[in-house]
A and B are shown apart, each in its own frame.
Chain A
Amino acid sequence: MKLNIDGLLVYFPYDYIYPEQYSYMLELKRTLDAKGHGVLEMPSGTGKTISLLSLIVAYQKAYPLEVTKLVYCSRTVPEIEKVVEELRKLMDYYTKQTGAKNDFLALALSSRKNLCIHPEVSSLRFGKEVDGKCHSLTASYIRAQHHSNPSQPVCQFYEEFDTVGRQVPIPPGIYNLDDLKDFGRRKGWCPYFLARYAILHANIVVYSYHYLLDPKIADLVSKELAKKSVVVFDEAHNIDNVCIDSMSVNITRRTLDRCQTNVETLQNTISRIKETDAAKLREEYRRLVEGLKEANVARETDIYLSNPVLPDEILQEAVPGSIRTAEHFVGFMKRFLEYLKARLRIHHVVQESAPQFLKDIFEKVCIDRKPLRFCAERLRSLLRTLEIADIADFSAITLISHFATLVSTYSKGFTIIIEPFEDKTPTIANPVLHFSCMDPSIAIKPVFGRFQSVIITSGTLSPLDIYPRILDFRPVTVASFTMTLARTCLCPLIVGRGNDQVAMTSKFETREDFAVIRNYGNLLLEMSAIVPDGIVAFFTSYMYMENIVASWYEQGILENIQRNKLIFIETQDAAETSMALEKYQEACENGRGAILLSVARGKVSEGIDFVHHFGRAVIMFGVPYVYTQSRILKARLEYLRDQFQIRENDFLTFDAMRHAAQCVGRAIRGKTDYGLMIFADKRYARADKRGKLPRWIQEHLTDGSLNLTIDETVQLSKHFLRQMAQPFRREDQLGLSLLTLEQLQSEDMLQKIAQIAHQA
């Protein structure tokens, strides 16, 4: 179907379109026109991905000078593959309609582990091993050694790519990870380096968040992306946590021990090199005296994405004299390391700010702030000079050097917490130094600063105004779209009481209360009797789930449930969980019916969809608050309050509700799908919680569905399920929630569409 979006010709690869998709594209077009950032919320299963792709591709074709590249960031490899498939569909449609040959290059990028075709390396199991092995075959000095000594092994795929691959551009087309591998095998080129090289001139790049947000990786992969790119973060409801994780550092005793061996290796290598090849060290020394000028020139000409770990001052200055020679630097690292060791030898929790830490380190071991700031850069230069092959080996000392640079660069937004033991096991000494980032805007700032449009989108972004605040940017469009439905296929219910009128809640005080646990059990039992096929139940934590299931077993509730349905449980072990999931789906498939007990914030709640009969009902037992006693969280809450004027409670509720919404949203994956959403906690009925649910759920939450008892819930559900079970054809949807081109162009429909976007 060819659409006219605000004067832009958009090819849409399907014959029908949802009204909200049209509205979404309108909003998106406005954002691109304004060259600003946008926050867009649209329910899952309404075709976000294809709307995004078809509009941005059309925009790229119409204004090739305005938008040169689309960078699509998703979270997991399966999601990346899904996006590429949609893209392939779109491009096929283009060729069919216009008849012209496709001249677009789109490709997915993932880690070496997913792209390597070297027979030995690719058989390794862990990502880190693959990276290390690959590096030991492709590093520049290894290859130089290979020239003089052909017995030194190198990767023939990389060699092949390096000699011819860069001159011959990869032919236009759509490449997912497997396509890249095939192409690599055919040509004998390394697909990973090919992809990394090709993203520079590709029109569309699909990869994971980390390639943009994690400063260590972004520096390698994404720093040369053009300024006129559009960046899309899909499923971005957790983006703040990704940002924070990418800037935080945790140091344990083991890290320090490994670091110690690293330092020793460095020292030995230096003394060895000094005897054999002193010129090399002298060359490095000369370069450092002149300063890190190369990087500076590149940044000035605006070629690179700036790196939050490498602040601007460093580029303008030369390395301080005290760490210029290799021996002095190793001595410096030794002192820093011993200092950290001494700090970890404590018996009580310490929390301090970066300036306090810096003052203490100066008093104890005479380390100034300035050399600390250059630590990461200096270490990198040294490793390069010493030509150490296995970089993975040096991860410990690299981590420490990053910590040194961060702690001396940022005086705000970070906190240092040293805990002598874990909260759960106070008798076992396991000291950890958390250097925790509290401000997600630090990591994402370069992205917002560099690219002309950044789109943050997900099914659950409510309340919308909080994201611009915590990420510290100014969006031009903030909108939430609802789902237009031919029939109300979602039925949110808030169950507040059991049949005995005891309030149902996962509040801490009543957690152990038998009446509450029994009521939760009764609810599940009753639902298992009336809901067909699959039910997914979410608990607030693994511990809570274990407790409840144990007492259900004692009370005999489990036995009763098992008469109706089989029960599967998610555990912390990924292999076990995927086994449970597989069996759960099998049980749903063959009509036996099953219940999956899982945990909010777990693997199931984030990445697994329960379409159609795999999830006819989702029950959310309790409000999934985070563990509020953790010191890191407390520090972050305090920071949010002081810097962004977001109160603790607001943020905690926001965080709990976005996870609750994410959990219940697993059941509805499209308009023909239907499902019950049961919130089993009386606190959901309060206005402050209810108001933070996404608008597309809130709309269907009437006063009649608040604070129900189990009996009432069963009645309402029965009614709902019977209605939904009636045959539902495409014709029923046409004209209401599914439009043909003619219907779309009618006057009153356009008016309706204008109301879908809810400007926040």
Chain B
Amino acid sequence: MDDQGCPRCKTTKYRNPSLKLMVNVCGHTLCESCVDMLFVRGSGNCVQCNTPLRKSNFRVQLFEDPAIDKEVEIRKKVLKIYNKREFDFSTLKEYNDYLEQVEDIVFNLTNNVDVERTKQIMEQYQRDNRDIIQKNKAKLTREQEELEELLLQEQQDSEQRRLETLQEEKRQLQAKRKNKQALLDKLESSKLPAAVLLAQHKDRAAQLETQIEKQKQNVKPTNIFSTGIMMGQTVSLASVSRVEEALYVYQPLYIDTYGPPVPELDQLGRQGYLNHVRTASPQDQAGGYSSGLACHRAIQDAFSGLFPL
């Protein structure tokens, strides 16, 4: 960068450290003052290649090689039109072919090969795919999404860490202060000799230290969400594929009792079975008991197994 200079006025970075080089769409450099001078009227021709240029299109040269500046400029323009994403293609191979095609266009435009034809192809493509281009404008590629996610997570992590350490320090400070105050209070009020109290204090301080140590070691790694999903693992947002399975159908239980049919619970009273059973007291009924229950069970017992096999 040090030996770079303006090709027109021959000023170099060494002689004028505040020299600002500018570059336009054709990829040729000029320094800022030359640009101001030559393009007073807002437009003119490039000194080196005679391309008609506008003053407003001059940019500060970012890279050492102005050709790269030019390429990036073109690339950004092309990518605005060719903005299909990977999931717009059915196979990876098609996507890769598409990428290569884009690369070819950029290459042709920067190296001035078949410029007219390439431009035609681009326009054709733009017309054909207008709605897809519109749709994809707002979308980021999947990789960029991932990156954004990572950055966000990084930020959150560092923030959380900062807060945690802050709190931890505060807590420790408080505990220590409390301990000190307790010692002073005791020295004031207790009847024990000061040496003993001091020794006690020392013990407590040591205990506090070890406690703090332990707490520090117990800090859990925070790399799992509360849902149990590992942080950093990308969750696919595609819907879960449906599993086709027969639903469960309830089949009432049938038990062969080898006996005469037992009357239903609500028929017991009508058929007079309950007349010979002790009626339930109000206390029993409070718990949900009815005399029918016991009777029904007794009859079931009695009837089962009466027939020979």
* Chain A positions near chain B (C-beta within 8 angstroms): 289, 317-325, 327-328, 331, 334-335, 338-339, 341-342, 345, 353, 355-356, 358-359, 362, 364-366, 368-370, 411-412, 642-643, 645, 647
**Helix, strand, loop or mixed for chain A's interface?**
helix
Q: Assess whether B128 is interfacial by the CB under 8 Å rule.
A: no
A322→B99 contact, CB < 8 A: yes
User: Could you tell me the distance in whole angstroms from the C-beta of B53 to the nearest C-beta in chain A?
Assistant: 22
User: Could you tell me the distance in whole angstroms from the C-beta of A691 to the nearest C-beta in chain B?
Assistant: 13
Residues of chain A with a CB closer than 8 A to B100's CB:
321-322, 324-325, 328
Q: Assess whether B144 is interfacial by the CB under 8 Å rule.
A: yes
Q: Report the Cα distance A551→B288, complex, angstroms.
A: 100
Given A324-B96, A411-B150, CB of A342 within 8 Å of CB of B63: yes
Q: Report the Cα distance A358→B62, complex, angstroms.
A: 18
Q: Report the Cα distance A157→B293, complex, angstroms.
A: 102
A321→B150 contact, CB < 8 A: no
For B210-223 the 0/1 string (1 means CB < 8 A from A) is: 00000011010100
Q: Assess whether B175 is interfacial by the CB under 8 Å rule.
A: no
Q: Report the Cα distance A289→B102, complex, angstroms.
A: 16
Q: Among the listed B1, B150, B157, which residue makes an inter-chain contact with A642, where contact means beta carbons less than 8 Å apart?
A: B157
With CB as the reference atom, state the residue of chain B lying closest to A643: B221
B72→A335 contact, CB < 8 A: yes
User: Could you tell me the distance in whole angstroms from the C-beta of B55 to the nearest C-beta in chain A?
Assistant: 24
Known interface pairs A321-B102, A321-B103, A364-B72; 11 further A-B residue pairs with C-beta atoms within 8 A, sorted by A's residue number: A322-B102, A322-B103, A338-B64, A338-B65, A359-B147, A359-B148, A362-B144, A366-B72, A411-B150, A643-B221, A647-B216
* Chain B positions near chain A (C-beta within 8 angstroms): 1, 62-65, 68, 71-72, 75-76, 79, 92-93, 95-104, 107, 141, 143-144, 147-148, 150-151, 154, 157, 161, 216-217, 219, 221, 232
Given A327-B107, A338-B65, CB of A320 within 8 Å of CB of B147: no
A412→B157 contact, CB < 8 A: no
A331→B93 contact, CB < 8 A: no
B107→A328 contact, CB < 8 A: yes
Residues of chain B with a CB closer than 8 A to A370's CB:
143
A317→B72 contact, CB < 8 A: no
Q: Report the Cα distance A412→B216, complex, angstroms.
A: 23
Q: Report the Cα distance A453→B90, complex, angstroms.
A: 45
B75→A366 contact, CB < 8 A: yes
B75→A345 contact, CB < 8 A: no
Q: Among the listed A320, A327, A328, A365, which residue makes an inter-chain contact with B68, where contact means beta carbons less than 8 Å apart?
A: A365
Residues of chain A with a CB closer than 8 A to B96's CB:
289, 318-321, 324
User: Could you tell me the distance in whole angstroms from the C-beta of A327 to the nearest C-beta in chain B?
Assistant: 7
Given A355-B150, A364-B62, A645-B221, CB of A317 within 8 Å of CB of B92: yes
With CB as the reference atom, state the residue of chain B lying closest to A325: B100
A412→B232 contact, CB < 8 A: yes
User: Could you tell me the distance in whole angstroms from the C-beta of B142 to the nearest C-beta in chain A?
Assistant: 10
Residues of chain B with a CB closer than 8 A to A362's CB:
144
Q: Report the Cα distance A411→B143, complex, angstroms.
A: 12
User: What are 6 of the A-B contact pairs (CB < 8 Å)?
Assistant: A320-B96, A321-B102, A325-B100, A338-B63, A353-B154, A366-B72
Q: Report the Cα distance A369→B143, complex, angstroms.
A: 7
Residues of chain B with a CB closer than 8 A to A322's CB:
99-100, 102-103
Residues of chain A with a CB closer than 8 A to B161's CB:
642
Residues of chain B with a CB closer than 8 A to A643's CB:
221
Residues of chain A with a CB closer than 8 A to B150's CB:
355, 411
Given A321-B97, A324-B96, A334-B68, CB of A369 within 8 Å of CB of B147: yes
A366→B76 contact, CB < 8 A: yes
Residues of chain B with a CB closer than 8 A to A289's CB:
93, 96
Q: Report the Cα distance A369→B95, complex, angstroms.
A: 15
Q: Report the Cα distance A560→B224, complex, angstroms.
A: 64
Given A321-B97, A369-B147, A412-B232, CB of A645 within 8 Å of CB of B219: yes
User: Could you tell me the distance in whole angstroms from the C-beta of B265 to the nearest C-beta in chain A?
Assistant: 63
With CB as the reference atom, state the residue of chain B lying closest to A641: B161
Q: Report the Cα distance A368→B104, complex, angstroms.
A: 17
Q: Among the listed A317, A319, A366, which residue makes an inter-chain contact with B79, where contact means beta carbons less than 8 Å apart?
A: A366
Q: Report the Cα distance A22→B222, complex, angstroms.
A: 44
Q: Report the Cα distance A729→B111, complex, angstroms.
A: 85
Q: Report the Cα distance A324→B161, complex, angstroms.
A: 44
Residues of chain B with a CB closer than 8 A to A335's CB:
68, 71-72
A339→B63 contact, CB < 8 A: yes
User: Could you tell me the distance in whole angstroms from the C-beta of B165 to the nearest C-beta in chain A?
Assistant: 10
Q: Report the Cα distance A339→B75, complex, angstroms.
A: 15
Given A321-B97, A334-B68, A364-B72, CB of A356 within 8 Å of CB of B79: no
A318→B92 contact, CB < 8 A: yes
User: Could you tell me the distance in whole angstroms from the C-beta of B162 to the nearest C-beta in chain A?
Assistant: 12
Q: Report the Cα distance A334→B71, complex, angstroms.
A: 11
A358→B147 contact, CB < 8 A: yes
Q: Report the Cα distance A323→B100, complex, angstroms.
A: 8
With CB as the reference atom, state the residue of chain A lying closest to B78: A366
Residues of chain B with a CB closer than 8 A to A647's CB:
216
Residues of chain B with a CB closer than 8 A to A356's CB:
151
Q: Report the Cα distance A317→B71, complex, angstroms.
A: 28
Q: Among the listed A319, A359, A412, which residue makes an inter-chain contact with B151, where contact means beta carbons less than 8 Å apart?
A: A359
Q: Which 5 A-B pairs have the closest CB atoms?
A: A321-B99, A321-B96, A321-B100, A338-B63, A355-B150
User: Could you tell me the distance in whole angstroms from the C-beta of A28 to the nearest C-beta in chain B?
Assistant: 31
Q: Report the Cα distance A323→B72, complex, angstroms.
A: 16
Q: Report the Cα distance A370→B147, complex, angstroms.
A: 12
A334→B65 contact, CB < 8 A: yes
User: Could you tell me the distance in whole angstroms from the C-beta of A466 to the nearest C-beta in chain B?
Assistant: 13
User: Could you tell me the distance in whole angstroms from the C-beta of A397 to the nearest C-beta in chain B?
Assistant: 16
User: Could you tell me the distance in whole angstroms from the C-beta of A647 to the nearest C-beta in chain B?
Assistant: 7
With CB as the reference atom, state the residue of chain A lying closest to B99: A321
Residues of chain A with a CB closer than 8 A to B93's CB:
289, 318
Residues of chain A with a CB closer than 8 A to B221's CB:
643, 645
Q: Among the listed A328, A341, A353, A411, which residue makes an inter-chain contact with B64, where contact means beta carbons less than 8 Å apart?
A: A341
Residues of chain B with a CB closer than 8 A to A369's CB:
143, 147
Residues of chain A with a CB closer than 8 A to B141's CB:
368
Residues of chain B with a CB closer than 8 A to A342's CB:
62-64
**Residue with the highest number of chain B CB atoms closer than 10 Å, among A327, A335, A643:** A335
User: Could you tell me the distance in whole angstroms from the C-beta of A574 to the nearest C-beta in chain B?
Assistant: 35
**Residue with the highest number of chain B CB atoms closer than 10 Å, among A338, A368, A412:** A338
Residues of chain A with a CB closer than 8 A to B107's CB:
327-328, 331
B103→A338 contact, CB < 8 A: no
Residues of chain A with a CB closer than 8 A to B63's CB:
338-339, 341-342
**Residue with the highest number of chain B CB atoms closer than 10 Å, among A318, A323, A328, A362:** A328
Q: Report the Cα distance A516→B102, complex, angstroms.
A: 70
Q: Report the Cα distance A642→B232, complex, angstroms.
A: 15
Residues of chain B with a CB closer than 8 A to A318's CB:
92-93, 96
**Residue with the highest number of chain A CB atoms closer than 10 Å, among B71, B147, B157, B161:** B147
Residues of chain B with a CB closer than 8 A to A331's CB:
71, 107
User: Could you tell me the distance in whole angstroms from the C-beta of B211 to the nearest C-beta in chain A?
Assistant: 16
A320→B144 contact, CB < 8 A: no
With CB as the reference atom, state the residue of chain A lying closest to B221: A645
User: Could you tell me the distance in whole angstroms from the C-beta of B70 to the nearest C-beta in chain A?
Assistant: 11
Q: Report the Cα distance A683→B141, complex, angstroms.
A: 56
Q: Report the Cα distance A325→B96, complex, angstroms.
A: 12
Q: Among the listed A321, A327, A334, A341, which residue makes an inter-chain contact with B95, where contact means beta carbons less than 8 Å apart?
A: A321
Given A321-B97, A366-B79, CB of A645 within 8 Å of CB of B217: yes
User: Could you tell me the distance in whole angstroms from the C-beta of A256 to the nearest C-beta in chain B?
Assistant: 10
User: Could you tell me the distance in whole angstroms from the C-beta of B82 to the nearest C-beta in chain A?
Assistant: 11
**Residue with the highest number of chain B CB atoms closer than 10 Å, among A321, A323, A341:** A321
Residues of chain A with a CB closer than 8 A to B72's CB:
335, 364-366
Residues of chain B with a CB closer than 8 A to A358's CB:
147
Q: Report the Cα distance A362→B148, complex, angstroms.
A: 12
**Residue with the highest number of chain A CB atoms closer than 10 Å, among B63, B144, B217:** B63
With CB as the reference atom, state the residue of chain A lying closest to B153: A355
User: Could you tell me the distance in whole angstroms from the C-beta of B267 to the nearest C-beta in chain A?
Assistant: 70
User: Could you tell me the distance in whole angstroms from the C-beta of B275 to the nearest C-beta in chain A?
Assistant: 76
Given A324-B96, A334-B68, A342-B63, CB of A368 within 8 Å of CB of B151: no
Q: Among the listed A334, A338, A368, A642, which residue makes an inter-chain contact with B143, where contact means beta carbons less than 8 Å apart?
A: A368
